[in-house]
Amino acid sequence: MLSRVLADIILVVHIAYVAYVMFGQLAIMIGWPLGWRWIRNPWFRITHLLAILIVVAEVFAEIQCPLTVWERDLRGGEDARSFMARVHEALTFAPGDEGLFNAICIVLGSLVVLTIFVVPPRFRRKPVPAPSSEPAEAAR
């Protein structure tokens, strides 16, 4: 019972992770021409970039996502397919192709990297105080 609950929690985290990457990129693409300032937030952009780079690294290393592995193990190995293959099948009622998902991850990763340069994050700088024209002794 506990392992099923933990597997469901991992599933929710996995869905949130995928949604963050996909909808985050969609927000950047929509927000850029609309002038949304929040899409240039460095924390958002850096975490967004790292999230997709982890996925792309998994694709090139040919390893399954740890979240998929943990969920499968907690469910007793009942479904050996990847998370995205199961999502694809649930949405389209057709078996998912790992190669297609890997290609989509690489394309999305490339798009995220490209938008880092095209729509760069904005780092705020603290204003430098103007030098005083009075000598330090006179100010006391």
Answer yes or no: is 109 within a domain.
yes
pLDDT at 96: 61
Residues in the chain: 140
Residue 96 placed within a domain:
yes
Q: Which two tokens stand for residue 2?
A: 């506990």
Structural domain total, the chain: 1
Q: Residue 58 falls within a domain, yes or no? A: yes
Give average pLDDT by consecutive 10-residue segment, the chain, 140 residues: 85 90 96 96 96 95 90 77 64 66 90 96 76 60
Per-residue pLDDT at 83 = 65
Is residue 131 domain-resident? Answer: no
**Does any domain span residue 36?**
yes
The pLDDT, as a whole number, for residue 85 is 64
pTM for the predicted model, two decimal places: 0.76
Comparing CA positions, the residue from 42, 66, 44, 45 lying closest to residue 54 is 66
Upper half-sphere CA count for residue 109 (Cβ side, 13 Å): 17
- Residue 106's nearest CA partner among 44, 46, 61 is 61
Q: How far apart are CA 122 and CA 39, in angstroms?
A: 9
Tell me, yes or no, whether 9 lies in a domain: yes
Q: Is 134 inside any structural domain?
A: no
**Residue 75 structural domain:** 2-122
- Residue-level pLDDT at 22: 93
Do residues 13 and 67 touch, judged by C-beta distance below 8 A? yes
